[in-house]
Structures are given as structure tokens and as C-alpha cells.
């Protein structure tokens, strides 16, 4: 006989409570002993009449509420309906989910009863994160209540042959399964909640499923339960023809206990009597009333658990792979505990207390006008239905999954209030104008969904030959996972040829759509933005995404003129462009940022959400998971190619007139430039630019910022086009590397009288007073004065120190908070301390700044706006958008220069003057970054691992004239959402405040980039060459990392 010991060891290693282990051992022993879990008809007797709650005359006793706890079972993912999140997060009605209505029921109950009735949830390991995030965001007062969540246990799946714990190397989480809602008792015991509730004076518990919104705390039923002194009470309904395949209540002949017999416990030869609703009249609604003190007595009687009948299900270890290992999953049902309680009882309740959603039939009915929501937030049958719910019979093969129902009702749910029966065979679509009356049967044998509109009364329709969607008809194309599609903080970047290979782009885009839709975004409402930095393959990718968007339900698109959108412009347009009903819900940005472009170089894609910022980590994780399991993608292959080079609108209407899609090509610069004009003093900037002793040049490096620089400097500030350099976007950035630094912005750097190390050189002509450069997608900036380079770290600190001269900050009462990425120098820290601003050091990645910006608006936390943030990698911005913004930083500098030069009769205050004055005030952070690009990945990782392993040994070590005060791997706990970011960079923090930092970045298909940061703070020696000031520390840094051994070089590709 198989041993339970491997299961015990696995569960103990996972930290599972002893009560759960004991309960699982009981069901396991039942399995290996040969017990099938069957309950023969010969061993039971039908239950006679039960008390109907409508006949209860006892006066409701409100005093019992103080002793009562309400618990909702919320462990189900709804995998049977194609869901991979908490089923209770499905929308039910009017934008409310099951959890919304549950929360509102609880708050309404407390108000009506005048008693703060205790409320609990039992979540599973699969639903906990989604559920608690939902409550923290929408119902923070409930989320903050002590003991809101109790976690369901998990148990091993068992090999179907050996009964040993199953293994799944591809995803170890698949080795576990929920133990069924019978785990309620083990969870109460193992978590200590049962003991805590009893100690706090709680005596009664009402339990129901989260998808049964009809099950609310009924004071009359509670009073009956208390008055009858029952130990356990089950709410039952009378079985109908629709319920005959479900379980029923019975009396066990051997001890006259009430028991529950489920369909899986019925032998084939007993099936006829099992389904006889005149014999076995009552079924369990899973609304249960439990005496907690009696539960404790039973637990003690059986040694720490309740022995429940076994339910065995045959599955595969990977639910998405039918060919994976065959397993059995052992479950128990909480209602089955009725047989363990002496003095257990049952009552009949009206159907209004039983409205669960198990199939798409139920969900369609609940969402339709056949149900209405009461003042206390219960869904009840519409009185116009005459007390009889319509019978819905959707094609079980076509509408097994919620996604199919969502597609069928994308234009609205049909009216069912006057319908008696609706049967659908095949795929169809409805709308708000669709009204079913009487008995209706619809058949569609074609492979294309057909539209049903208007009033349909007592009809038998065959839509097989009817007109369909035409150019809007989606096609499902078979595909399969492609390795390496895990997006980073800046999206997915690979070689262009890889993106152009079969299904590569399509797979990723479909995976994003699936994640976005599963996350609750209705893509049929609002607009989807698409645009990029203009690199090679941009135009083709846009057309593909449009066609896939239509197939996935998008009804409106905003495409940047010529296919162009800078990354900050996308964020600005999402946040600023209206009208409200067209607001963008998200955007695909086609960029690899500062990476080279062209057919032999890099391409990239990222998704931004409705706040204008990059997709949060959970969404990108869901996207990646989807790429590993994808089987097909949707595309409207016949959708016409859109002329994206001309501003205008194209409407494509379905042949059957059921729907239409609008593709609007919009001016790329419009929303962003309009926003910038509200932030800065354009009149003051223009006055500066018009001074005869001031000149400037802005190099767009043939990236996307060319049109934006023209819109700002030529069209708005009335400057000659000669101030612009390389402002015509090219799909290969004219063969250059559109990265605004001293190495790659060669033309600008030379014009400004500098070499690639920042040293002065002789020039042939006059040197402009001010120079700036942008990268490929317009989110980065480099600031230069005449023969003077401003480091990004200094630039950030100086903008913060002078923020009050910028209207955006001064008119809002001044700056409140600043943040920098961890590798960025500490120059801004000194300013923040001096100005008493909230300060944050974050990992690299704009999403961390975005959280701080949205602390109040999204997370209901402290308001940190107005807010400025930046990174040493030439990224600077504020809370006007949720991306770094290159042209914003340029205008910020010009606004500061204008404020310093408001008297044209005085000599020009230069960029160098402002920087040196700042150093004199705050000291100078000598700073340098070395980039080793194209390094061997394994070697670079090994180098990082070695430094990580040596952090403890290096702490306290003396190296040259420095002492390493701390060596660590940077870890960040987000103060807004509590998320934790690990392994964000190796830090060597010297006792004098100097720093050496190492980070690894894999930006595309071009190998790994090792970044080495060196920083030395000085208050007196402010005029040293950077290389000289950092010479010793640089040598120490190279020795600490030993990059020559691991990567074969000590020569950087780029020095900044």
C-alpha cells in the first residue's frame, strides 16, 4: 500500500499546518485503502419534509449579530470557465464584480443592523494576491480590518499510478492543488482563527460561496439556528429538472445522520435514482451555519481535524497540457461535514438565496435585465419575469469559456426579461438592442459568428447563411510558444529580424491583449494608441497590431502621424487627449529606445497603461506567462491597410452592420506640446532665445523627437529651423546610434567644443551657448553649455534646486518630493535635504517613480506631487507624464536660464555659471559611468554572482585609501504598494560617502551590458578633471569586479 510519508514530507517542507496534513492523510488513506468514495443507494434513505424558512415565525434577535461572523469562500479561479484569476473578480452588473457586490453587501448589512458584523474571506494561494489588492484599492477600510483574510491550504497532486506526489519541472506550482472547500475546517484550525474567534466571543458562523450573491446574512435564519440549538445547519433548495445531476441530501441508514451525496459518489447503477427529484428532493446550496464551539468539540474528538468523505478527480499535472503526467486530485466538500455533527439540521430556503455562477449560461442570465440589483446589493429575479427565470442553453462547446461570452456580448447583453427559453447552437453575437421574447432557438453552423439584432419572439432561427462581419471577421491562427519573449522594464527588445520572423510579433501582441483583457480592461471602450520611434519595421508592425487589435475587440485606434510617437508623447496623449469617452486605455510603443535601428539592428515593443506609464510588473508577468503557453492568435486579415502618413479618420463597418471600427491618425506632437506650454514660461524662454548673445542647437539624432523639436522651437518659439540638427527621423537613425551621450552624439559634442571625454577642443566656428540632444524615442536628454558638459546627475539636482522658476511647480505651491535611481549620484540628495523635500532612492525603472507619483490618486496614500525624478542614464522628468521626458528637461533648463537672465542688459548667465554656482552651494559629486557593451552573458552573470557572494567579506575591507563601509545588493521596498525589488545592483559604499556600483543590463539581442558607476563627493576641490578626481576609485572598482577575468576586457565601450 502506498505510503503517505512522501506527501507529509512535501507538505511539511512547504510549511503547511498540521491540521491540513492530518485532514489530507485521512483522505489519502481512504484512497489507498480502496475506498472509492461511493455511497450506494441501498445505504441511504430520502430526507423527509424540512422546515421552510418562509414558515419561521420567531422574532429576529439582533443581539446574536455580535456573536456571528460571516465568511465568504473565495478560493476559486474559475478555470472551468477559462479564468486564471479569482472568479469573484468577474464583472456581474453595472461595472460591479462579485467582490464589489459582496463588499457593498457587508457595508449595507452593518448599516442596516447597526452592528459591525465581522466579515472574513477564505482565499486560496491562487486568489489571495488579486483579491487583497482589489480590497486595498477599492475598499481600504475593509482591507485594513484585522483577520479579513484566511488562506486555504494546498495539497499535493498525486501520481495516478503510484499515489506519490506528482512533479512538474516546467512549473512547480502545478504540483499543488486546492483541497476543496472542505478545507475550511482545517484552515480555521491551522491558522488559529477558530481559537481566536471563540476567545473573542464568536459562536456562530455563516459560510457561503463568493459567486453566490444571494447568500447574505439573514437575521431570521440566524435566530432559527440559535433557537433550535442546532450544531450545524445546511440551507437547501428543492431540486428541479435543472438540478437533477447535482448532489442531494440524504439520511445514512447506519446512524441516521444527515449526509451529502455528490454526483462523484454515485455508482452508475444508482444514477437513475440519484437523478429522481421526486425521491431525493433537496440539494445543498453551500450556505452553511456552523456552531463554532461544536466545531471545536469535533476537532478535539478526532485529534485535530474533521474526517470528511473523499472526492477524487482525475486530471493532468499541467492543466494546460493534456499530455502531461496523469494525476488524481483529492478534495473534500465542506457541506459533507454535516455527517460529523450530532444534532445537525437543514432548512429549505427560497431560490433567491441560491444564484451561483458556474457556467456562462448563469453569467449571461445574471448580467441581463432578467436580474436586478436590490438596495442591499443582492441580485434578484426581475419581478417582470413572473417568478420564473429564463432557461438559458448556450452551446457548451462554443461558450464554455468566459472569453467567448465576452466576445458574444461586446455590444451589450440582450434583453431576457420576457424570455422563457433561449437555446443557442454555434457562435452568435448580441447587442443591447437584441430582445428575446418567449422561446427562441438560434442555430449557426458556419464558422463565423453571426449577429442577432432587434426583437426575436418565439422563433427558430438559422443564421448559417446570413451575412457576417466582412472585413472585421477575425481569424484564429494556430501558433505556439517562442522562447525568449520575457519583457524587461522597457518592454521586449530583440534584433529586428527576430521580430520579423514568423509569428514573433503576433505572439507577443496577442499575449499582451490576453493579459490586458484578463486584467479587467474593456478594450472595446476607449482608444488604443499605437506609434513608435520610426525605426525599421515600425510601419509594418503598426498595421499588424491594428489588425490584431480589431480581432481582439478594439473599436477605436489613435495612430501617430507617420507612425511616430515619442515615448513621453504617448504618456501625455493618454493622459490629456479627449473626449472622455474616447480616452485611451493603453498604448503599444514600438521602440528600442537608444539602441541602434535598421534591418540588422534592434526593434522593441512595450505596453503602457491608462495612467500613461509602463505596464506594471504583474501585467508583464502575465504577458510572459501567456507567451509560454500560447496556442493561437487572432487577426483580421482582411482589414484594410491604413494610410498612417496622413492625419484623418477611417471607419470600417461590418457587412452585417453590427459594429464598426474607427482608426484615427492624429498629429503626434499635439497633446504633448500643448501640455508643455502649460508647464513652462514660453514667453520668458522666447525672450532668452531671441537675445543676440544667446544661441542654441538641438540634435534629435534622426530619432522621433525631430517633429517635436520643430513643433516647439520653430512653430511655438519662432526660432529658425537652423537651431535643429538631424531632425528628420530615419528608420536606421542615419546609421548612427541615437543615444545622447558624449560618445554617440559626436556631431553635437564637437559643435559644443568638447571631445568624447568632455574635455575642451578647438572649433572652427562660434560655439552655441546651449546644446541638447535626444535619443531614438525622445525620452532621454543631454545638456551642454559652451565647452561644458552637464552630467545627468547634476542636471537633475539643478532642476530640483531651481524648480520654483518653472510655473508648473511654483503655481502648485512648490515641489514636494524628488527621487533618483540608485546608480544616480547623490547630488540631488543634498538639494532635497536642504529644501526639506521628501526623497526616495529607487531601483532603475520609471515604474518606481510612477508609483510615487500615483501614491495618492491610485493608492490612496500620501501626495508626493509636484514631483521631479531622474536617472543617471540621461532620463529626467516630472509628474506631468509617467515617462521620462527629454524635451521637458531641455525646456526646464531653458526656463532656468531665462529666469537667471531676465535682465537683457546684463551679461549672459551661462550653463557653466549655473552649474558652478550649484557646486559652490552644495559641493560637487564627481561621477562617471563606464559601459561595457556586448559582454558575454554567462561571464557577466558570473562576475555579478561573485561580487554578490563576497558582500559580507568585503564589508569593512580597506582598499587603497578607502574603507568599504558596506557592500550589499540593493533591495527596495516600495513605500507605496509594499512590493519588493531584489538584486538591483551591487553597491560598495565607502566610509567617506564615495560609491562604486555595478549593474547588469541586457537591452536586446546584443549581449549583456555591464555598467560601472564611480562617485566621489568633494566640497573644496571643485575644478578637477573628472578622470583625475576618480582615478584611484576607478582602479579599485576594476579590481573589485575583476571584469578582465570574467569578460576579457577593462576597456569600456562608452564613458559618461
Active-site annotation, residues:
593
Residue pair 243/282 in contact by the 8 Å Cβ criterion: no
Alpha-carbon distance of 856 to 859, in angstroms, equals: 5
Close Cβ partners of 849 (under 8 Å, ≥ 6 residues apart) = 819, 842, 867, 869, 877
Contacts (Cβ under 8 Å, ≥6 apart) of 399:
360, 361, 405, 408, 424
Tell which phi-psi region holds residue 147, choosing left (phi > 0), alpha (psi between -120 and 50) or beta.
left
Q: Which residues contact 273 (CB under 8 A, 6 or more apart)?
A: 41, 279, 280
Contact 1033, 996 (CB under 8 A): yes
CA atoms 76, 80, 81, 83: torsion sign? positive
Burial of 607 (0-12, 13-18, 19+ CB in 10 A): buried
676 and 888 Cβ atoms separated by less than 8 Å: yes
Cβ atoms of residues 608 and 574 within 8 Å: yes
621's CB contacts (< 8 A; 6+ apart) are none
Query: What is the distance between the alpha carbons of residues 605 and 507, in angstroms, rounded to a whole number?
Result: 12
- What CA–CA distances, in Å, run from 1050 to 37, 743, 934, 1044? 69, 17, 13, 5
Chain centroid to Cα 286, Å, comes to 32
Exposure class string for 581-592: b at 16+ Cβ within 10 A, else e:
eeebbbbbbbbb
Grid coordinates standing for 71?
465568511
Cα dihedral across residues 761, 767, 772, 776: positive or negative: negative
Residue 39 burial (CB count, 10 A):
20
HSE at residue 1020, side-chain half, CA atoms within 13 A, is: 0
Radius of gyration of the chain (CA): 33
Half-sphere exposure of 923 (CA within 13 A, CB side): 18
3-state helix, strand, coil in the chain (%, to 5): 35, 25, 40
C-alpha cell at 191: 491558522
* E strand spans, 319-370: 326-331, 345-348
Nearest CA among 424, 909, 840, 529 for reference residue 688? 909
Written as nine digits, the cell of 524 is 472595446
**Other residues' Cβ atoms within 10 Å of the Cβ of residue 40:** 12
Q: H/E element holding 227?
A: helix 219-227
709: left (phi over 0), alpha (psi -120 to 50) or beta: alpha
Are the beta carbons of 757 and 1055 closer than 8 angstroms? yes
How far apart are the C-alpha atoms of 959 and 252, rounded to whole Å? 80
Alpha-carbon dihedral 559, 561, 562, 568, rounded to 10 degrees: -80
Coil, strand, or helix at residue 648?
strand
C-beta separation of 265 from 37 below 8 A:
yes
The residues, ordered by sequence, that sit 6+ positions from 960 with a Cβ below 8 Å of its Cβ are: 1032, 1035, 1036
- SS3 (DSSP) at 196: helix
Amino acid at each position: 500500500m502506498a505510503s503517505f510519508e512522501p506527501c507529509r514530507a512535501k507538505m511539511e517542507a512547504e510549511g503547511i499546518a498540521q491540521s491540513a496534513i492530518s485532514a489530507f492523510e485521512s483522505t489519502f488513506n481512504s484512497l489507498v485503502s480502496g475506498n472509492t468514495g461511493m455511497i450506494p443507494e441501498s445505504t441511504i434513505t430520502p430526507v423527509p419534509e424540512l422546515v421552510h424558512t418562509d414558515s419561521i415565525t420567531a422574532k429576529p434577535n439582533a443581539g446574536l449579530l455580535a456573536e456571528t461572523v460571516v465568511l465568504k469562500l473565495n478560493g476559486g479561479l474559475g478555470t472551468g470557465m477559462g479564468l486564471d484569476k479569482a472568479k469573484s473578480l468577474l464583472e456581474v452588473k453595472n461595472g460591479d464584480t462579485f467582490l464589489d457586490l459582496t463588499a457593498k453587501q457587508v457595508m449595507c448589512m452593518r448599516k442596516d443592523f447597526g452592528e459591525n458584523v465581522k466579515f472574513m474571506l477564505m482565499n486560496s494561494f491562487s486568489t489571495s494576491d488579486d483579491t487583497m489588492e482589489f480590497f486595498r484599492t477599492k475598499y481600504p477600510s475593509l482591507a485594513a480590518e484585522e483577520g479579513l483574510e484566511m488562506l486555504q491550504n494546498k495539497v499535493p497532486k498525486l501520481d495516478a499510478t503510484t499515489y506519490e506526489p506528482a512533479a512538474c519541472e516546467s512549473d512547480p506550482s502545478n504540483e499543488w492543488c486546492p483541497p476543496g472547500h472542505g478545507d475550511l475546517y482545517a484552515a480555521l484550525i491551522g491558522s488559529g482563527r477558530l481559537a481566536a474567534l471563540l476567545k473573542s466571543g464568536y459562536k456562530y458562523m455563516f459560510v457561503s460561496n463568493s459567486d453566490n450573491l444571494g447568500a447574505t446574512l439573514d437575521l431570521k435564519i440566524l435566530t432559527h439556528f440559535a433557537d433550535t440549538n442546532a450544531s450545524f445547519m445546511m440551507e437547501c433548495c428543492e431540486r428541479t429538472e435543472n438540478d437533477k445531476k447535482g448532489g442531494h441530501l440524504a439520511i445514512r441508514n447506519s446512524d441516521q445522520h444527515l449526509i451529502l451525496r455528490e454526483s462523484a459518489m454515485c455508482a452508475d447503477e444508482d444514477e437513475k435514482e440519484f437523478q429522481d427529484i421526486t425521491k431525493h428532493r433537496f440539494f445543498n446550496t453551500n450556505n452553511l451555519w456552523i456552531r463554532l464551539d461544536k466545531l471545536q468539540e469535533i476537532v478535539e474528538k478526532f485529534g485535530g481535524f474533521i474526517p470528511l468523505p473523499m472526492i477524487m478527480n482525475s486530471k493532468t499535472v499541467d492543466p494546460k497540457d493534456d499530455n502531461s503526467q496523469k494525476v488524481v486530485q483529492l478534495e473534500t466538500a465542506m457541506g459533507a461535514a454535516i455527517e460529523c455533527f450530532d444534532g445537525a439540521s437543514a432548512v429549505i430556503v427560497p431560490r433567491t438565496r441560491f444564484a451561483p455562477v458556474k457556467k456562462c449560461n448563469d453569467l449571461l442570465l445574471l448580467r441581463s435585465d432578467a436580474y436586478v440589483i436590490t438596495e442591499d446589493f443582492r441580485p434578484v429575479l426581475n419581478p417582470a419575469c413572473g417568478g420564473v427565470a429564463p432557461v438559458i442553453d448556450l452551446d457548451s462547446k462554443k461558450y464554455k469559456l468566459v472569453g467567448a461570452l465576452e466576445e458574444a456580448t461586446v455590444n451589450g447583453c440582450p434583453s431576457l426579461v420576457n424570455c422563457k427559453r433561449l437555446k443557442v447552437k454555434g457562435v452568435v453575437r448580441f447587442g443591447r438592442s437584441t430582445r428575446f421574447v418567449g422561446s427562441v432557438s438560434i442555430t449557426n453552423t458556419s464558422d463565423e459568428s453571426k449577429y442577432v439584432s432587434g426583437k426575436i419572439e418565439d422563433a427558430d432561427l438559422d443564421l448559417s447563411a446570413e451575412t457576417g462581419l466582412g472585413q472585421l471577421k477575425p481569424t484564429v491562427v494556430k501558433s505556439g510558444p517562442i522562447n525568449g519573449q520575457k519583457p524587461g522594464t522597457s518592454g521586449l527588445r530583440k534584433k529586428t529580424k527576430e521580430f520579423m520572423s514568423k509569428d514573433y510579433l503576433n505572439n507577443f501582441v496577442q499575449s499582451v491583449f490576453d493579459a490586458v483583457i484578463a486584467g479587467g480592461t474593456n478594450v472595446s471602450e476607449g482608444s488604443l494608441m499605437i506609434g513608435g520611434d520610426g525605426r525599421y519595421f515600425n510601419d509594418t508592425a503598426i498595421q499588424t497590431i491594428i489588425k490584431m487589435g480589431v480581432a481582439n475587440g478594439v473599436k477605436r485606434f489613435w495612430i501617430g502621424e507617420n507612425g511616430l510617437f515619442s515615448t513621453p508623447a504617448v504618456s501625455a496623449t493618454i493622459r490629456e487627449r479627449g473626449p472622455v469617452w474616447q480616452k485611451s486605455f493603453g498604448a503599444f510603443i514600438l521602440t528600442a529606445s537608444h539602441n541602434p535601428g535598421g534591418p540588422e539592428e534592434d526593434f522593441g515593443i512595450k505596453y503602457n497603461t491608462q495612467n500613461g506609464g509602463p505596464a506594471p510588473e504583474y501585467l508583464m508577468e502575465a504577458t510572459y506567462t501567456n507567451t509560454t503557453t500560447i496556442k493561437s492568435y487572432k487577426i483580421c486579415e482582411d482589414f484594410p491597410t491604413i494610410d498612417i502618413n496622413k492625419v484623418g479618420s477611417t471607419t470600417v463597418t461590418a457587412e452585417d452592420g453590427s459594429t464598426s471600427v474607427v482608426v484615427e491618425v492624429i498629429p503626434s506632437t499635439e497633446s504633448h506640446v500643448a501640455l508643455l506650454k502649460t508647464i513652462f514660461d514660453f514667453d520668458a524662454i522666447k525672450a532668452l532665445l531671441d537675445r543676440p548673445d544667446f544661441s542654441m542647437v538641438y540634435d534629435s539624432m534622426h530619432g522621433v523627437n525631430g517633429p517635436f523639436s520643430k513643433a516647439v522651437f520653430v512653430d511655438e518659439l519662432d526660432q529658425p529651423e537652423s537651431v535643429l540638427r538631424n531632425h528628420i527621423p530615419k528608420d536606421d537613425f542615419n546609421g548612427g546610434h541615437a543615444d545622447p551621450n558624449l560618445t554617440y552624439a559626436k556631431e553635437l559634442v564637437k559643435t559644443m567644443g568638447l571631445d568624447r571625454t568632455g574635455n575642451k577642443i578647438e572649433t572652427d566656428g562660434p560655439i552655441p551657448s546651449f546644446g541638447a540632444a535626444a535619443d531614438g524615442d525622445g525620452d532621454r536628454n543631454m545638456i551642454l553649455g559652451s565647452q561644458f558638459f552637464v552630467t545627468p546627475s547634476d542636471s537633475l539636482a539643478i532642476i530640483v534646486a531651481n524648480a520654483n522658476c518653472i510655473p508648473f511647480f511654483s503655481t502648485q505651491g512648490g515641489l514636494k518630493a524628488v527621487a533618483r535611481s540608485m546608480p544616480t549620484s547623490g547630488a540631488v540628495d543634498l538639494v532635497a535635504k536642504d529644501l526639506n523635500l521628501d526623497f526616495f532612492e529607487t531601483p532603475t525603472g520609471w515604474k518606481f517613480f510612477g508609483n510615487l507619483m500615483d501614491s495618492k490618486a491610485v493608492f490612496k496614500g500620501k501626495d508626493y506631487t509636484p514631483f521631479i525624478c531622474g536617472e543617471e542614464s540621461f532620463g529626467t522628468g516630472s509628474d506631468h507624464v509617467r515617462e521620462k521626458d527629454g524635451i521637458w528637461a531641455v525646456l526646464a533648463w531653458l526656463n532656468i536660464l531665462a529666469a537667471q537672465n531676465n535682465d537683457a542688459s546684463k551679461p549672459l548667465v551661462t550653463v557653466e555659471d549655473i552649474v558652478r554656482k550649484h557646486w559652490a552651494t552644495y559641493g560637487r559629486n564627481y561621477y562617471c559611468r563606464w559601459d561595457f557593451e556586448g559582454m558575454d552573458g554567462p561571464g557577466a552573470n558570473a562576475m555579478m554572482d561573485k561580487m554578490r557572494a563576497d558582500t559580507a567579506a568585503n564589508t569593512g575591507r580597506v582598499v587603497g585609501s578607502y574603507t568599504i563601509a558596506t557592500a550589499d545588493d540593493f533591495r527596495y521596498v516600495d513605500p507605496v504598494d509594499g512590493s519588493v525589488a531584489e538584486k538591483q545592483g551591487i553597491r560598495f559604499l565607502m566610509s567617506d560617502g564615495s560609491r562604486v556600483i555595478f549593474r547588469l543590463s541586457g537591452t536586446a539581442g546584443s549581449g549583456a551590458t555591464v555598467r560601472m558607476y564611480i562617485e566621489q563627493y568633494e566640497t573644496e576641490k571643485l575644478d578637477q578633471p573628472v578622470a583625475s578626481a576618480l582615478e584611484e576609485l576607478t582602479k579599485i572598482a576594476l579590481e573589485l569586479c575583476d571584469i578582465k577575468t570574467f569578460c576579457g576586457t577593462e576597456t569600456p565601450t562608452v564613458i559618461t
